[in-house]
Amino acid sequence: MTTPNPQLDAQGNLKHFLTIEGLSREFLSEILDKAEGFLAVAQQAVKKVPLCRGKVVANLFFENSTRTRTTFELAAKRLSADVLNLNISTSATAKGETLLDTLRNLEAMHVDMFVVRHASSGTAHFMAAHADPHVCIVNAGDGRHAHPTQAMLDMFTIRRHKPDFTRLRVAIVGDILHSRVARSQILALKTLGVPDVRVIAPRTLLPTRVEEAFGVTAHHDLREGVRDADVVIMLRIQRERMNSALLPSEHEYFQLFGLTEARLSTAQPEAIVMHPGPINRGVEMDSQVADGPRSVILEQVSNGIAVRMAVMSMCLGNQNLNSQGQGELFHG
Ligand code: CP
C-alpha cells in the first residue's frame, strides 16, 4: 500500500508545498508553466493581480533569510494577499512559546497560509499535520531536508535557458551533505527527466552512499566533474550545520573546489552558472564567475517571485475549492 502524499488533498490537488518528493513530472511542469504566466506581472505598471485577495499569509522564519523571505512576501503581495511577517527574535517564541501554540494563535487570526523556515528537518510536515484543515503550509527550508520552492525556481531558470531537461548534464558542486537545496534540486532534476546529474565535493561533504541513495554520480575533482556540463550549480558551505571540522580551511577549499573561469573551461561553452545564495565570494566561487556572462544568479532571484506566486496561488486556489466546494479563486 502506498502512503498518501501529505501535501495533496483527496482529489490530488496541491494543499501544502512541503517537498518535491512524490510529485510527478506533470505536476512540476504545471508549476513551471504557471510561473511562466506570472513573470509578466513584474512588467506591469501596477505589479499586482487579484488572485489571492482577502487571503492572509504569515511568514514564519526561524532561520535567517534574505531571498526566500522577501520573495515570498513580494509574491504574496503581487497576488494581493495580506502578509504578516513575524519577527521571531521579538516574538513570543523568544519567551518560550511552542511552535504549535504560535500556529494556533495565528490560526485564531484567520491566517490562510504559513510560509515556514526552520533549522529542524520535518518542521513544515509537522505543521501541516497539525494545522486546521483549511490552512496551507509552504516549506521555505527545513534543516537539511528540503527547500522545494528554491528547487522549483532553479528548474524554472534552467528551463528558460535549456528547454529540454532530457538532454542536460547538471553538475552540483559543494556542501551536498548539509544542503536541503541539493536534495530538492536532485529530486526535481530526476523527476523532470535529466539523465546526468553529478555531485562534486570533498568526501567529507557528501552523504554516505550518495550515488545509490540519490541516483547521481559523485566526483572529487572539479574540472572532471563539470566536464561538458550544461548547468553548473554552486552551493554554499554551511558552517552553521557542521558539528566538526569537515574542511581544512576555506582557503584550501577554494583552491580545490572554488569555481574560477579556468576551472569552468571544461564545461560546455554555453553552460550557465547558478547559486541559490548567499554566495561566499572567494570560497565557493570567484567574483569573475559570479558576476560574469554565464552567471544567472540574479535571474534565479527574480524568477523566485513568479515561482512562489505559482505555488501560493495553487495552494490557496485549492483551499477555496476545498472549503467552498468550488474552484472560484479568481475574483475581482
Ligand atoms: N537561497 C536561499 O534560501 O536564500 P536565503 O537564505 O537568503 O533565503
Task: Render pLDDT for 170-196 as a digit per residue (tens, 0 to 9).
Answer: 999 999 999 999 999 999 999 999 999
Q: Domain 148-300 in CATH: superfamily?
A: Aspartate/ornithine carbamoyltransferase (3.40.50.1370)
Q: How do residues 55-99 score in pLDDT, each as one tens digit?
A: 999 999 999 999 999 999 999 999 999 999 998 988 888 889 999
CA distance 325 to 332: 19
For residue 141, which atom of ligand 1 is closest to its CA?
3
Beta bridge partner(s), residue 137: 114
Ligand 1 site residues, Cβ closer than 6 angstroms: 65-68, 141, 150, 276-278
pLDDT of residue 321: 58
Which residue of 59, 65, 71 sits with most ligand 1 atoms within 8 Å of its CB, as the best mutation to test the pocket? 65
Beta bridge partner(s), residue 197: 170
Look at residue 250 and tell me whether its pLDDT is greater than 60: yes
Look at residue 161 and tell me whether its pLDDT is greater than 50: yes
Q: Ligand 1 center to residue 70 CA distance, Å? A: 9
Residue 130 — pLDDT band, cuts 50, 70, 90? very high
Q: Name which of 70, 40, 60 is nearest 304 in CA terms.
A: 70
For residue 117, which atom of ligand 1 is closest to its CA?
8
Length of the chain: 332
pLDDT of residue 131: 97
CA distance 312 to 307: 9
Residue nearest to atom 1 of ligand 1 (CA): 276
Look at residue 199 and tell me whether its pLDDT is greater than 90: yes
CA distance 53 to 88: 26
Residue nearest to atom 5 of ligand 1 (CA): 65
* Residue 284, C-alpha cell as written in the block: 565557493
Domain residue extents for the chain: 25-146+302-324, 148-300
293 CB neighbour count, 10 Å cutoff: 8
Q: Tell me if domain 25-146+302-324 and domain 148-300 are identical in fold.
A: yes
pLDDT of residue 249: 84
pLDDT of residue 325: 42
285 CB neighbour count, 10 Å cutoff: 28
Residue nearest to atom 6 of ligand 1 (CA): 65
CA-based radius of gyration for the chain: 20
Q: Ligand 1 center to residue 297 CA distance, Å? A: 12
Q: Cα dihedral sign for 181, 68, 320, 37?
A: negative
Over pLDDT 70: what percentage of the chain? 94
For residue 63, which atom of ligand 1 is closest to its CA?
6
Strand order across the beta sheet in which 272-274 lies: 217-219, 196-200, 169-173, 231-234, 272-274
CA distance 320 to 327: 6
Classify strands 231-234 and 272-274 as parallel, antiparallel or unpaired: parallel
Q: Ligand 1 center to residue 181 CA distance, Å? A: 10
Q: Ligand 1 center to residue 194 CA distance, Å? A: 24
Q: Ligand 1 center to residue 276 CA distance, Å? A: 7
**Which fold would CATH assign to domain 25-146+302-324?**
Rossmann fold (3.40.50)
pLDDT of residue 329: 42
pLDDT of residue 23: 97
Q: How do residues 4-30 score in pLDDT, each as one tens digit?
A: 899 999 999 999 999 999 999 999 999
User: What angle, rounded to 10 degrees, do the helices at 180-191 and 25-38 form?
Assistant: 100
pLDDT of residue 135: 97
Contact 168, 231 (CB under 8 A): yes
